[in-house]
A and B are shown apart, each in its own frame.
Chain A
């Protein structure tokens, strides 16, 4: 069975600090898809990124970057120069190709960015 572990539960930083959110996944499937979602205090779930298991290229989008390492089964998320608006719960999630498209979520990391 697949599993996503987000060992950090709460992180607090001061604005403009860089912060990395860790995600470790477990699956026996060779084809899978990894995701990050953001849940701001307003409660909705916002899609951030999707990564396929056969594409290990790292990605950068503005202040956000993602580091996918199959060798360590990790898909870490870094926010550079954090801002107060980044305060949210961040979820890492996994879909395995052999399953019926259901997302398996980690427990989430609560990020607080203080001014």
Chain B
């Protein structure tokens, strides 16, 4: 019974490059959430998706960040033209329905040089 999978676990990018973070939810879960953990800031909600739909993106920066959860395949969090301030741990969580317990993946640690 695999848990939430995230890859890569560690990602190094130079300023200006693109970062793609992938998340495969637990089996049977169709709700996916992305959170960011910045040093000194704690865990912050970014976006909530169901298959092919963005439900709530109120926590997403307005520029450079996008997320999708296609009908087939993992959810993708995409950061274009990364800057040093994007360095953080990005966690994906999934749940079977809204307002249910969210189970987290191991996170992707992004380092921008």
Interface residues of A (CB under 8 A from B): 33, 35, 37, 43-47, 50, 91, 93, 95, 97, 99-108
Tally of A-B Cβ pairs under 8 angstroms: 64
Q: A-facing mask of B7-31, CB < 8 A → 1, else 0?
A: 0000000000000000000000001
Contacts A105-B43, A107-B42 given; indicate if A100 touches B106 (C-beta within 8 A).
no
Say which residue of B91, B95, B103, B109 sits within 8 Å of A101 (CB atoms).
B95
> Is B48 among interface residues, defined by CB-CB distance under 8 A?
yes
Interface residues of B in 75-113 (CB under 8 A from A): 89, 91, 93, 95, 98-107, 109
Name 12 interchain pairs, CB-CB below 8 A, sorted by A.
A44-B107, A45-B43, A45-B93, A46-B104, A47-B102, A93-B43, A99-B56, A100-B56, A103-B45, A105-B35, A105-B43, A108-B42
CB distance from B39 to the nearest CB of A (A): 12
List B contacts of A102 (CB < 8 A): 33, 45, 48, 56, 58-59
Interface residues of B (CB under 8 A from A): 31, 33, 35, 42-45, 48, 55-56, 58-59, 89, 91, 93, 95, 98-107, 109
Judge whether B99 and A95 touch: CB under 8 Å. yes
CB distance from B47 to the nearest CB of A (A): 9
Question: With A101-B98, A102-B56, A103-B93 given, can you name 7 additional A-B contacts, CB distance below 8 Å?
Answer: A45-B93, A99-B56, A102-B45, A102-B58, A102-B59, A103-B43, A106-B42
| Whole-angstrom CA separation of A47 from B103 in the bound complex | 7
CB distance from A91 to the nearest CB of B (A): 7
CB distance from B15 to the nearest CB of A (A): 24
Contacts A43-B106, A43-B107, A45-B91 given; indicate if A105 touches B42 (C-beta within 8 A).
yes
Say which residue of A44, A47, A91 sits within 8 Å of B101 (CB atoms).
A47
| Whole-angstrom CA separation of A1 from B45 in the bound complex | 14
List A contacts of B58 (CB < 8 A): 100, 102
List A contacts of B98 (CB < 8 A): 100-101
